[in-house]
C-alpha cells in the first residue's frame, strides 16, 4: 500500500505526566483516499495532527508524511490544513485573505490570480469575494477556512471538524468538495464527530482511543452485519406475520417487519414462503450496524486507558 502518512510507535508525553497523549500509535493513510480519523474527546487526535504537521515534537517513534520525515518543510508546503478552532484576519476581504495565504504558500501572482476565484467558486463564496471576513456568518467563515486549505492544490488536506458550523446544505457542499478533491487525486484526512458524514465520505477509517489506533479499515470491515432483515410488503396481514414468525422473531408495523433470523441462509426460504402466502414484496433489506454504532461498540469494548489530550 502506498501510504501518504505512516507512523510507527509514535508517542507523545507532555511534561512529567504519566499518561501519554499519544502512545505507540501506528497509522497508515493510503494515498488518494478520504481517510476518517475518529476517536472520543481526549483520545489523542489533536496531538497526532500536531505531530503530523510538525507543530508538536514526538517523544519517541517515527513517522513520514509525503515520503519525508514528520515536520519536513518541503512536505509541509504540499499540505493544506483547516484547524477546528481558527481565527482569521477579519478586516480583509475574502479575495485579499486568500491572496495573503497564497503568498504564504509561496504561490506566484499568476497562480494566485487563477486559483483565488476558482477556490471561492468551489466553496460557494464567489458572490462574496469582495466582502470582509468580519461580515461572514460562522458557516461562511468555515467555508473561507476550507478555501485557504485547498488554495495551493495540496497533495494532502487535513480537515479538523470541517462541518461543525454548517447546516445540512453546507455539510452536503463540503462532502461534495471532499469527493471533488479525491477525484483530483488529493488525499483527505478527515477528523469529525459527525459519523454519518464520515460513513458517506470515507474510504477507510481509523478509531483511536487512549492514544492508540484500536481499529482501522473500510467501513464495511469495521461495522458488522446483523442477522436481521427489514421486510417491506404492500400490506402486512396477520397471516403474513405468522409466516414470518416461522423464521425468527418479528417486530411489525403497518407494512414493514423487522425479522431477526438464526442466520442469513434462511432469507430465500422466508421470501418464498411470503410469496406463497400471497405477500406482495416491495423490499428485503439486510440490517447492518452503522458506523456510529460500531464506533460506540469499539470504544466500549476496548478498555485501554484514555489519554489526556484530544
Per-residue pLDDT of the chain (310 residues; tens, 9 = 90+): 589 999 999 999 987 667 789 999 999 999 999 999 999 988 999 999 999 999 999 999 999 999 999 989 999 999 999 998 888 888 999 999 999 999 999 999 999 999 999 999 999 999 999 999 999 988 888 899 999 999 999 999 999 988 877 888 888 888 889 999 999 999 999 998 889 889 999 999 999 998 999 999 999 899 887 778 889 988 888 899 999 999 888 888 888 888 888 877 888 999 999 999 999 998 988 888 889 989 998 998 865 444 444 5
Q: For each of the domains in the chain, give its residue range(s) and CATH number, in order of start.
A: 3-221 (3.40.50.300), 226-287 (3.30.70)
CA 178 – CA 176 distance, rounded (Å):
5
> Rounded CA gap, 22 and 51, in Å?
10
> What's the pTM?
0.84
pLDDT attached to residue 306: 44
Residues with Cβ < 8 Å from 181, sequence gap 6 or more? 150, 157, 188
- How does DSSP assign the chain, residue by residue? --EEEEEEEEEE--TT-SS-SEEEEEEEEETTSEEEEE--TTSSHHHHHHHHHTSS--SEEEEEETTEETT-HHHHTTEEEE-SS----TTSBHHHHHHHHHHHTT--HHHHHHHHHHHHHHTT-GGGTTSBGGGS-HHHHHHHHHHHHHTT--SEEEEESTTTT--HHHHHHHHHHHHHHHHTT-EEEEE-S-HHHHHHH-SEEEEEETTEEEEEE-HHHHS-EEEEEEEEES---HHHHHHHHTTSEEEE-SSEEEEE-S-GGGHHHHHHHHHHTT--EEEEEEEE--HHHHHHHHHHH--PPP-S--
Taking the C-alpha atoms of residue 145 and residue 191, their distance in angstroms, rounded to an integer, is 15
Task: Give the model's pLDDT for residue 258.
Answer: 86
What local confidence, expressed as pLDDT, does residue 8 receive? 94
Q: Are 214 and 26 in contact (CB under 8 A)?
A: no
Amino acid at each position: 500500500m502506498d501510504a501518504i502518512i505512516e507512523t510507527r510507535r509514535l508517542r507523545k508525553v507532555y511534561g512529567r505526566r504519566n499518561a501519554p497523549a499519544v502512545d505507540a500509535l501506528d497509522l497508515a493513510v493510503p494515498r488518494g483516499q478520504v481517510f476518517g480519523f475518529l476517536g472520543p474527546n481526549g483520545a489523542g487526535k489533536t496531538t497526532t495532527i500536531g505531530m503530523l504537521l510538525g507543530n508538536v515534537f514526538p517523544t519517541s517513534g517515527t513517522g513520514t508524511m509525503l515520503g519525508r520525515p514528520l515536520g519536513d518543510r518541503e512536505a509541509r508546503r504540499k499540505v493544506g490544513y483547516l484547524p477546528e478552532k481558527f481565527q482569521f484576519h477579519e478586516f480583509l476581504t475574502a479575495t485579499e485573505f486568500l491572496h495573503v495565504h497564497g503568498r504564504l504558500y509561496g504561490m506566484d501572482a499568476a497562480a494566485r490570480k487563477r486559483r483565488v476565484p476558482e477556490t471561492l467558486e468551489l466553496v460557494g463564496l464567489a458572490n462574496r469575494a469582495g466582502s470582509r471576513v468580519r461580515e461572514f456568518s460562522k458557516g461562511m467563515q468555515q467555508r473561507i477556512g476550507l478555501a485557504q486549505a485547498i488554495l495551493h492544490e495540496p497533495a494532502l488536506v487535513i480537515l479538523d471538524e470541517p462541518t461543525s458550523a454548517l447546516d445540512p446544505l453546507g455539510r452536503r457542499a463540503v462532502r461534495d468538495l471532499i469527493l471533488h478533491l479525491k477525484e483530483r487525486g488529493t488525499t483527505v484526512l478527515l477528523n469529525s464527530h459527525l459519523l454519518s458524514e464520515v460513513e458517506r465520505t470515507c474510504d477507510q477509517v481509523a478509531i483511536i482511543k487512549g492514544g492508540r489506533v484500536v481499529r482501522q479499515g473500510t467501513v464495511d470491515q469495521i461495522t458488522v452485519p446483523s442477522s436481521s432483515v427489514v421486510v417491506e410488503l404492500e400490506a402486512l396481514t396477520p397471516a403474513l406475520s405468522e409466516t414470518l414468525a416461522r423464521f425468527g422473531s418479528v417486530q411489525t408495523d403497518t407494512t414493514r417487519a423487522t425479522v431477526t433470523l438464526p442466520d442469513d441462509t434462511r432469507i430465500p426460504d422466508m421470501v418464498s414462503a411470503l410469496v406463497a402466502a400471497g405477500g406482495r414484496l416491495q423490499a428485503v433489506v439486510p440490517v447492518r450496524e452503522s458506523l456510529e454504532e460500531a464506533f460506540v461498540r469499539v470504544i466500549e469494548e476496548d478498555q485501554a486507558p484514555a489519554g489526556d489530550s484530544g
